[in-house]
């Protein structure tokens, strides 16, 4: 790990690191906010997965999460949203919703993307192992995210019972097998067989896991003025799926809010306290 930036914030430290990812076959950058309590021993961590076109910097600079994280004694870990570099293929047409900045938190099976686009394994295995080995962060993990990152947070939690103690999301792509963003990404990363897509769809996983043991309650905030609401996000599908499966869901529709970080900053404190209740008690 090479530290490339450090900023004092609310008594703690925001740090950025670069490392060589064996999972992704390229250099990766991630950010960590360590609260002041980390100077005295390991603290729990909330892993934040950002949305399309974002990097590690969007959440750390715009969400306003550090003040509450410092109060609670919780680290924040923000990876990038995809592998990057000259050797990493992007969208052949240069589109913003696929390739660089749009890894969709899946493990690709289709060439040429299968060599690098393994963001699911990176965020669930390689990155936590690295953070917990080298920083004062322990194995008490929560996971959250926005939009594409909301999709990522949901599937990471649903596919790994016991790995995370809490999950929450903002405006998630909750049913990617039924929306244009999901169809584009999954067909290229996973192939044309839509049966293979179901392993990466939160609604499919919730239905499949129904009645199979203890589940994590899901907190969702969704703005009603979100321009992607009807075509891409479809929170009502997630709500119906959770109701049918008996999966606890707190879906909060926020009048007038859009898809931006103004929306995230308005409700991030609620989410941090949701995670602290599970991670710290």
**Catalytic residue chosen out of the listed positions 21, 50, 82, 147:** 147
Element (H, E) at 239: helix 235-245
Q: Is 212 exposed, middle or buried (0-12, 13-18, 19+ CB in 10 A)?
A: exposed
Return the residue matching tokens 């950002």: 50
Residue that has been written with the tokens 């913003």 in this structure:
96
Query: 116, 259, 274, 275: which one is catalytic?
Result: 259
Alpha-carbon distance 255 to 182, whole Å?
A: 26
Q: Is 4 exposed, middle or buried (0-12, 13-18, 19+ CB in 10 A)?
A: exposed
259 catalytic? Reply is yes
Instruction: Pull the structure tokens for residue 78.
Output: 């923000």
Which residue shows structure tokens 């892993």? 47
* Active-site entry in 144, 226, 247, 271: 226
Kindly state the tokens that stand for 270.
Answer: 């609620």
SS in 3 state form for 188-224?
HHCCCCHHHHHHHCHHHHHHHHCCCCCCCCEEEEEEC
Residues 177 and 199: beta-carbon distance below 8 Å: no
- Burial environment of residue 174 by CB neighbours within 10 A (0 to 12, 13 to 18, 19 or more): buried
Residues with a known catalytic role: 147, 226, 259
């Amino acid at each position: 790990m090479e530290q490339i930036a450090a900023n004092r914030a609310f008594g703690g430290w925001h740090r950025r690191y670069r490392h060589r990812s064996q999972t992704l076959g390229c250099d990766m950058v991630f950010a960590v906010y360590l609260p002041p309590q980390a100077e005295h021993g390991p603290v729990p961590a909330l892993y934040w997965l950002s949305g399309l076109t974002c990097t590690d910097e969007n959440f750390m600079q715009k969400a306003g999460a550090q003040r509450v994280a410092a109060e609670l004694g919780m680290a924040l870990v923000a990876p990038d949203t995809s592998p990057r570099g000259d050797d990493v293929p992007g969208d052949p047409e240069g589109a913003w919703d696929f390739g660089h900045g749009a890894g969709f938190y899946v493990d690709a099976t289709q060439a040429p993307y299968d060599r690098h686009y393994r963001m699911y394994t990176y965020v669930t295995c390689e990155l936590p192992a690295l953070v917990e080995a080298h920083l004062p962060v322990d194995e008490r993990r929560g996971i959250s995210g926005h939009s594409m990152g909301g999709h990522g947070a949901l599937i990471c939690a649903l596919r790994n019972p016991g790995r995370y103690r809490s999950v929450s999301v903002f405006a998630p792509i909750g049913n990617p097998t039924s929306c244009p963003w999901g169809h584009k990404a999954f067909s290229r990363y996973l192939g044309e067989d839509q049966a293979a897509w179901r392993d990466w769809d939160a609604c499919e996983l919730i239905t499949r896991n129904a009645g199979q043991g203890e589940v994590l309650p899901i907190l969702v905030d969704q703005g009603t003025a979100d321009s992607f609401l009807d075509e891409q996000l479809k929170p009502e599908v997630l709500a119906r799926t959770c109701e049918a499966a008996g999966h606890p869901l707190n879906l909060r529709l926020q009048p007038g809010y859009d898809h931006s970080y103004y929306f995230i900053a308005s409700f991030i404190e609620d989410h941090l306290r949701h995670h602290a209740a599970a991670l710290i008690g």
